[in-house]
Structure 1
Amino acid sequence: MAPGDIPRPSTRRRSRGSRFRRTLVGLSVGALTLAGLTVTAQHGAVAAPADTRAAAAAPADVPAPPAGFTTTWSDDFNGAAGSGLDTGTWKYDTGPGSSFGTGEIETMTDSTDNVFLDGNGHLVLKALHSGSDPGAGWTSGRVETQDDSFGAPPGGVVMMQSSIKQPDVTTDNGAGYWPAFWMLGQPLRTGTTWPTSGEVDILEDVNGRSSVFGTLHCGVSPGGPCNESSGIGSGEHACPGCQSDYHTYAVQIDRSTSPEQIRWYLDGQNYFTLDSTQVDSDTWTKAVDHPFFIIYDLAMGGGFPGAFGGGPNANTVSGGQMDIDYVAVYNKAP
């Protein structure tokens, strides 16, 4: 683990019914506070306009590629309000969180109550609660790209970027919320086990903390060169306003440098860099030097929120949503 990293559980295995993700690791981190958010305090629904599927912010065009890059693939989520995703491009991961291996309590569905286009150029993943027990009765959404060819060739660079508004909750009413934008190695789909096949977490936040974590998972679990199931990561990085507005989250895998690097960005600013020399060359090659597929999900509960105080609880609001404006993959040729 790199100096200054916060030990944290963060594994998200793709296989349905046997997906292993986070194992609880003890943490002690001071709470961050948010101001200026208008969210209901009672267990119920997040305050929203009358049309809860209409996002207030206008969608942005998919940005032109950075200098030297070309756009490989993108989606700006245009479509009719309330419609589902194009299953030629995306696939739904469904099933109970209890089968994921991380203590999550939601059920992931393909319902347009939980996963839908808002008609304004956004994909929405929405967590909904029913019943009186905050520890049960949650539904939400998780989707991944059908395409698993996003990667950097030898000598090249790949960049994955998305504009996202995290669930508009606070540390007071957002306990248990766990939004994520991440990717898994293509070899996982062809039989290589996790974490050998690699996982790069581009954005994770928990419990409405207005922060971001970036992490690489690799090697073997438990332990190994990536200290699984914690991985090697940035630790908690402050993300002011990320609960109430759109921000860009990106990662670059750079195979043009020696040593190779993975770089994490928030609003275009590099906040964490990982060199290939931090693990042995075989581990890095198996985890990083291949294509990936992209995933979004909005989990509830589990080991990672539990490490920051737990949840959901009686104050946790239903209806928090992760709004995604666009996703793009850019490549720089060798």
Structure 2
Amino acid sequence: MLEKKKYRCLLAMLLMAWHTVAVFAQTVQTVQTAACCGGCRPGYRLVFCDEFNGADGTLPDPKVWKCCRRRPQVTWARFLSDSPDVAFMKDGSLVLRAVPASDGSAGEGTMRTGGIESSQSFAFRFGRVECRALVNPFIGNFPAIWMMPRTDLKWPQGGEIDIFEQINGEQKAYSTVHSAWTKGHPGEPHSGNISLPMDRYHVYAVEWEEDALTFYADGRQLYQYEKQNDSQEQWPFDKSDFYLILNQSVGDGSWADKPDAAHTYEMRVDWIRVYQKEKTGTCRNAVPTEKDTGGKGFCALRTAGKGEKETDERGEARAGRGRKSGGRRAFP
């Protein structure tokens, strides 16, 4: 009888110890996730984040991001460069620049601009994207935080989601959607804007649901675009996964003015995070990363799988963006 009591006591102690370890592990995981996402959103799970806390002067994680490809005939992409002076981390932020080109004969034109994207590592469908960023308004300024679809369809048939743009010296944030419908109906509103002091950081966001895209700046609703029918033309936003793009560009006079070729333009991104509601949304190419808390509830990165083609991100999409607020025109 005494031996049985000893065994029961030992078993109880082991169970208590196991429970303590499990609670501790869960607490550590929660703290680690909160450290990355800066807090939790009730009813949501964090599926992706980058805090850009790497060593000063280094590039963001190449397993996550790659430099946007230069295309001379595309307005926003005509000066893109993989030069280390236009995309790097500093003081816990991602710095993206447009700088005077030192040698136009290298085929870079008058400027070199920086941009990064996640087409081969992370894409998702439905959720909330939040990004904290600071821009420096100036004639010709054209930074953007936006999303493009993984699809073989030509722009804008697959859609485009512009979470944030700012132009020239304006103290405004713009949010816009593009589709075949908006291109064919330029008078129909598909954009909104809000006045903001641009000498400080702001949090720009989009809530992407099955039937609506709602844009925010510092928690204030900026614009909402709603599903009208299930056609690819009007609502392509439930038919493809979308990936993230961050870039600092300069205008060409069609919407943002032509740049001052002697000026250095800059956008700083403190962090970017993607949340999804607990019971909705899809997340593709999910594998653990160094920032992952054990691979649980966290979408991240791997190279695009077989059969997944990288979208020619705005190969045509920003090939001239002359647009006006409240129904701005998007060029093909």
The alignment's TM-score, normalised by the length of structure 2, stands at 0.66
Cα separation, 2, equivalents of 1:203 and 1:231: 20
- Separation of aligned partners in 1, 2:263 and 2:77: 14
Q: Is the 8 A contact 1:94 1:107 kept in 2?
A: no
- For 1:5-84, what aligned pairs fall within 5 Å after superposition? 62-84=37-59
Report whether the alignment pairs 1:203 with 2:188.
no
Which residue in the other structure is 2:315 paired with?
Answer: none
1:318 partner SS: coil
In the superposition, the TM-score normalised over structure 1's length comes to 0.65
Check conservation: 1:217, 1:232, Cα contact below 8 A. no
Q: Conserved in 2, the CA contact under 8 Å of 1:196 and 1:286?
A: yes
- SS of aligned partner of 1:236: strand
**Seq. identity, %:** 26
Counterpart mapping for 1:111-260 below 5 A = 111-118=83-90, 120-130=91-101, 137-145=110-118, 146-152=120-126, 158-166=127-135, 168-169=136-137, 174-187=138-151, 191-219=152-180, 223-224=183-184, 227=186, 232-239=189-196, 241-242=197-198, 244-255=199-210, 260=211
Q: Which amino acid aligns with 2:133?
A: I
- 1:312 paired with 2:284, answer no
**Match of 2:225, as an amino acid?**
L
- Cα distance in structure 1, aligned partners of 2:189 and 2:49: 28
Q: Give the total of aligned pairs.
A: 241
Equivalent residues of 1:263, 1:270 under 8 A apart: yes
Does structure 1 residue 294 correspond to structure 2 residue 244? Answer: yes
Deviation at 1:283, TM superposition (A): 2.6
Aligned twin of 1:18:
none
> Partners of 2:181 and 2:222 in 1: how far apart?
26
The secondary structure found in structure 1 opposite 2:125 is coil
Q: Pick one of 84, 89, 93 that aligns with 2:64.
A: 89
Distance between the aligned counterparts of 1:142 and 1:121, measured in 2?
A: 17
Counterpart-to-counterpart distance in 2, 1:95 and 1:220? 28
Q: Distance in 1 between matches of 2:202 and 2:188?
A: 24
Q: Which amino acid aligns with 2:79?
A: T
Q: Are the equivalent residues in 2 in contact too, given 1:186–1:290 (CA < 8 A)?
A: yes
User: Aligned partners of 1:322, 1:182: CA distance in 2, in Å?
Assistant: 14
Contact kept? 1:106, 1:138, Cα under 8 Å: no
Quick one: distance in 2 between partners of 1:331 and 1:203?
20
Change (3 A) 1:86 1:213: same
Larger Rg: 2
Deviation for aligned residue 1:106: 5.3
Higher RCO (CA < 8 A, seq sep 6+): 1
Residue 148 of structure 1: how far off its partner (Å): 4.0
Query: Aligned partners of 1:92, 1:220: CA distance in 2, in Å?
Result: 30
> What does residue 79 of structure 2 align with?
107
Gaps of 5+ in 1: 1-59, 153-157
After superposition, what is the alpha-carbon deviation per residue over 1:79-116, rounded to whole angstroms, capped at 9, x for unaligned?
Answer: 111111221100111325x321x3x5852111111100
Find 2:266's aligned residue among 321, 324, 331. Answer: 321
The CA distance in 1 between the partners of 2:190 and 2:125, in whole Å, is: 20
- Structure-2 separation of matches of 1:161 and 1:86: 19
Paired with 1:263 and 1:65, the residues of 2 have a C-alpha distance of 20
Separation in structure 2 between the aligned mates of residue 91 and residue 131 of structure 1, nearest angstrom: 23
User: Can you list the C-alpha shifts for 1:44-95, whole angstroms capped at 9, x where unaligned?
Assistant: xxxxxxxxxxxxxxxx963323221110110001111111122110011132
